[in-house]
C-alpha cells in the first residue's frame, strides 16, 4: 500500500511540475511585456498576473495578499481537477463534454525470422507465455476457446477470463475478455513477409477499472508493457523455438463465433 501511495503522489507531483513549468512560462511572458511597455502595469502585476483596479485601497492587500493568494488557490484547484479527470476518465453528466473513450488503444507490430506456421504454432501455446514473458504470471486454458489469465498490471496483480471468438490457423486470433478490475480485448494476426519472415500485428483494447490501473494509464504503461512482452515473444521464438521446430505442436483447430469448428469427416464408403 505504501508503494501505491508513493506512486499516486508521484502522479500528483508530475502534474504539479507541469503546472510550475506553465507558470514560469506565463510569468516570463508577462515580464517581457512589462519591459517592452516601459513598466506599465507595475512590476508586481507582471510577477503575479493580478491587475490593480481603481477600487484597490491597499497595494499590500490587492497585489501581495489577495492577488497572489487567490492565484495560488486557483492553481491548486485546477491541478486537483486535472488529476481527478485523468484518474476517473473525465466527462460526466452535465459536463457539456462529449463521451470520452475510456480505453487504451494499443497497436504493436514485430517481425520474426521464422515461417508463419512456426510463429503461429508458438503463439497458440498460451500456457508457455509465463516462462518467457515478464509480467504474465499464469495462463490456464480451460478449453480450446476459454482461457484464464493472471498478470501484473501496473502495481496490481489481476486476473481475467478471455474467450476466443475467431481463430484461423496461420492467420488470426480474435478474443474478448471480462474481469472485475479491468480486461483486455484484442486480436493478433500473422503475415508472411517472406517464406522465413513473419510479421505479427497485435491490437489490444485495454479497459482499466481500478484506481491504480487508471493511474498507470497516465503514462501509457500498458502500451509499453505490451511492446516489451511482444519482444520477449520474438526473442523466445528466435533463440529457442527455432532450434527445435519439429518439437512444437501448435493447436491447429479453428474457432468461429466462439465455437470450435469440428473438422469435416469424409463420408464412409459403402
CATH of the domain at 181: 3.30.530.20
Pair 117, 239 in one domain: yes
Residue 186 lies in a domain: yes
Q: How far is CA 36 from CA 32, 33, 43, 51, in A?
A: 6, 5, 12, 17
Pair 118, 226 in one domain: yes
Residue 157 lies in a domain: yes
Residue 182 lies in a domain: yes
| Phi and psi at residue 137, to the nearest 5° | -95, -35
Residue 184 in contact with residue 160, Cβ under 8 Å?
A: yes
Kindly state the DSSP code that residue 263 receives in the 8-state scheme: P
- Tens digit of pLDDT per residue, the chain (270 long)? 555 555 555 555 455 445 544 554 455 456 556 555 555 666 556 555 655 544 444 445 444 455 655 665 566 555 455 544 544 444 444 444 556 667 889 999 999 999 999 999 999 999 999 999 999 999 999 999 999 999 887 677 888 999 999 999 999 999 999 988 778 899 999 999 999 999 999 999 988 776 555 555 555 677 888 999 999 999 999 999 999 999 999 999 999 999 999 887 555 444
In whole angstroms, give the CA distance from residue 94 to residue 169.
48
Pair 11, 141 in one domain: no
Pair 74, 118 in one domain: no
Burial 159-170 (b: 16+ CB within 10 A, else e): ebebbbbbbebb
User: Among 88, 123, 146, where does a domain finish?
Assistant: 88
Pair 111, 63 in one domain: no
Residue 211 lies in a domain: yes
| Phi and psi at residue 105, to the nearest 5° | -90, 120
Residue 97 lies in a domain: no
In whole angstroms, give the CA distance from residue 135 to residue 222.
11
pTM score, whole prediction: 0.61
* Structural domain total, the chain: 2
Pair 78, 30 in one domain: yes
Pair 70, 143 in one domain: no
pLDDT at position 86, please? 46
User: Among 88, 115, 135, where does a domain finish?
Assistant: 88
Pair 53, 120 in one domain: no
Residue 54 lies in a domain: yes
Residue 116 in contact with residue 188, Cβ under 8 Å?
A: no
Residue 42 lies in a domain: yes
Domain containing 9 equals 2-88
In whole angstroms, give the CA distance from residue 160 to residue 180.
7
Pair 8, 42 in one domain: yes
Pair 80, 214 in one domain: no
pLDDT at position 158, please? 83
User: Among 88, 122, 141, where does a domain finish?
Assistant: 88
Residue 119 in contact with residue 250, Cβ under 8 Å?
A: no
Kindly state the DSSP code that residue 52 receives in the 8-state scheme: -
Pair 78, 114 in one domain: no
Burial 93-106 (b: 16+ CB within 10 A, else e): eeeeeeeeeebbeb
Three-state DSSP class for 108?
strand
Residue 268 lies in a domain: no
pLDDT at position 58, please? 46
Pair 21, 124 in one domain: no
Cell of residue 244, nine digits: 527445435
Amino acid at each position: 500500500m505504501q508503494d501505491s501511495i508513493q506512486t499516486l503522489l508521484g502522479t500528483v507531483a508530475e502534474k504539479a511540475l507541469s503546472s510550475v513549468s506553465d507558470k514560469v512560462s506565463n510569468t516570463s511572458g508577462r515580464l517581457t511585456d512589462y519591459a517592452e511597455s516601459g513598466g506599465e502595469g507595475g512590476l508586481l502585476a507582471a510577477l503575479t498576473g493580478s491587475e490593480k483596479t481603481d477600487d484597490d485601497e491597499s497595494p499590500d492587500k490587492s497585489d501581495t495578499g489577495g492577488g497572489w493568494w487567490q492565484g495560488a488557490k486557483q492553481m491548486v484547484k485546477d491541478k486537483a481537477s486535472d488529476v481527478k479527470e485523468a484518474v476517473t476518465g473525465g466527462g460526466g453528466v452535465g459536463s457539456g463534454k462529449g463521451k470520452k473513450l475510456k480505453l487504451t488503444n494499443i497497436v504493436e507490430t514485430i517481425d520474426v525470422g521464422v515461417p508463419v506456421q512456426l510463429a503461429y504454432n508458438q503463439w497458440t501455446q498460451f500456457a508457455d507465455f509465463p516462462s518467457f514473458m515478464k509480467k504474465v504470471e499464469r495462463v490456464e486454458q480451460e478449453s480450446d476457446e476459454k482461457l484464464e489469465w493472471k498478470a501484473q498490471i501496473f502495481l496490481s496483480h489481476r486476473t481475467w477470463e478471455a474467450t476466443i471468438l475467431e481463430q484461423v490457423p496461420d492467420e488470426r486470433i480474435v478474443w474478448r475478455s471480462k474481469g472485475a478490475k479491468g480486461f483486455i480485448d484484442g486480436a493478433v494476426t500473422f503475415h508472411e513477409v517472406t517464406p522465413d519472415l513473419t510479421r505479427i500485428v497485435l491490437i489490444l483494447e485495454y479497459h482499466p477499472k481500478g484506481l491504480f490501473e487508471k493511474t498507470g494509464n497516465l503514462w501509457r504503461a500498458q502500451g509499453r508493457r505490451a511492446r516489451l512482452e511482444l519482444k520477449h515473444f520474438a526473442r523466445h521464438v528466435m533463440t529457442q523455438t527455432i532450434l527445435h521446430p519439429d518439437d512444437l505442436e501448435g493447436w491447429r483447430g479453428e474457432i468461429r463465433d466462439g465455437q470450435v469448428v469440428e473438422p469435416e469427416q469424409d463420408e464412409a464408403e459403402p
